[in-house]
């Protein structure tokens, strides 16, 4: 790799890292806005979504420019992974916007506490996203593999919340509006975890040249 190309690829990685930081911050603030019933914070999340969209487009454009300069398979892998990561991170920001909108809707109801532990689910999903992003930045595929394994925990908790909220709606018709919004929040957090898993799988591919997207359930150590 020429020194100039190496510099450009490092700048690409930095840009992806910046985008990951914005997406993670948006999701964190969206959950915080929900828990703290903060409409101002929720609206800020919605308004700032364009920043992540712009970063995705800039990364795509940079990769297209760099593709013609790639000399090695590792260069090409870095570029294609960068585009995939940008796509997942943009979707994380979209889910953060969804959570923020639902937070505003929920804040229109009296404050009676949350019937399910949304903060717990948020910590799990956002923890996965943070660890996957750090695995990318610090070149730690083993940490990325650990993220992949945690996805099932988030899936299970999301399903549990949906059962609990469905039962609550059946028992108390007045809770339907609140429960529907909370179901949407829970699903968005589950999707954020899915995107974190995608990021982690791409990190493994980037640094180990091994595609684990469809093998995670059959790899050594799997309980399935």
* CATH code, domain carrying 127: 1.20.58.220
CA torsion angle for 55, 100, 117, 194 (degrees, to 10)? -30
Summarize the confidence of residues 39-49 as an average pLDDT.
Answer: 96
Report the number of distinct structural domains present in the chain: 1
Structural domain span for residue 170: 3-208
> Which tens digits make up the pLDDT trace of 112-159?
888 999 999 999 999 999 999 999 999 999 999 999 999 999 999 999
b/e map 142-179, b = 16+ CB within 10 Å = ebbbebbbbbeebeebbeebbebbeebbeeeeebeebb
Handedness of CA 217, 21, 54, 10 (dihedral sign): negative
**Is 214 inside a domain boundary?**
no
**Is 37 inside a domain boundary?**
yes
> Which tens digits make up the pLDDT trace of 183-220?
999 999 999 999 999 999 999 999 999 999 876 444 44
- The values of phi and psi at residue 221, to 5°, are 95, -10
User: Over 80: is that where the pLDDT of 33 sits?
Assistant: yes
Residue found by looking up tokens 């949906």 in the block: 162
**Is 221 inside a domain boundary?**
no
**Is 172 inside a domain boundary?**
yes
User: Over 70: is that where the pLDDT of 223 sits?
Assistant: no
Summarize the confidence of residues 97-110 as an average pLDDT.
Answer: 96
**Is 219 inside a domain boundary?**
no
**Is 216 inside a domain boundary?**
no
Give pTM, 2 decimals.
0.91
**Is 213 inside a domain boundary?**
no
Question: Which one, of 52, 45, 47, 53, lies nearest residue 28 by Cα?
Answer: 45
**Is 18 inside a domain boundary?**
yes
């Amino acid at each position: 790799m020429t020194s100039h190309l190496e510099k450009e690829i490092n700048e690409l990685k930095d840009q992806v890292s910046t985008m990951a930081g914005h997406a993670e911050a948006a999701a964190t603030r969206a959950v915080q806005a929900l828990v703290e019933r903060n409409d101002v914070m929720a609206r800020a999340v919605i308004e700032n979504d364009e920043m992540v969209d712009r970063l995705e487009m800039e990364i795509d454009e940079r990769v297209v420019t760099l593709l013609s300069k790639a000399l090695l398979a590792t260069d090409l892998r870095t570029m294609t992974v960068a585009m995939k990561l940008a796509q997942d991170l943009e979707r994380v920001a979209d889910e953060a916007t969804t959570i923020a909108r639902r937070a505003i809707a929920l804040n229109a109801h009296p404050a009676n506490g949350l019937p399910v532990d949304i903060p717990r689910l948020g910590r799990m999903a956002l923890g996965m996203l943070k660890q996957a992003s750090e695995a990318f930045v610090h070149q730690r595929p083993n940490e990325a593999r650990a993220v992949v394994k945690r996805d099932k925990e988030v899936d299970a908790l999301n399903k549990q919340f949906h059962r609990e909220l469905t039962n609550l709606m059946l028992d108390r018709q007045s809770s339907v509006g609140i429960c529907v919004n909370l179901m949407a929040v829970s699903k968005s957090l589950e999707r954020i975890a899915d995107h974190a898993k995608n990021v982690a799988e791409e990190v493994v591919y980037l640094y180990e040249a091994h595609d684990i997207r469809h093998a995670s359930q059959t790899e050594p150590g799997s309980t399935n």
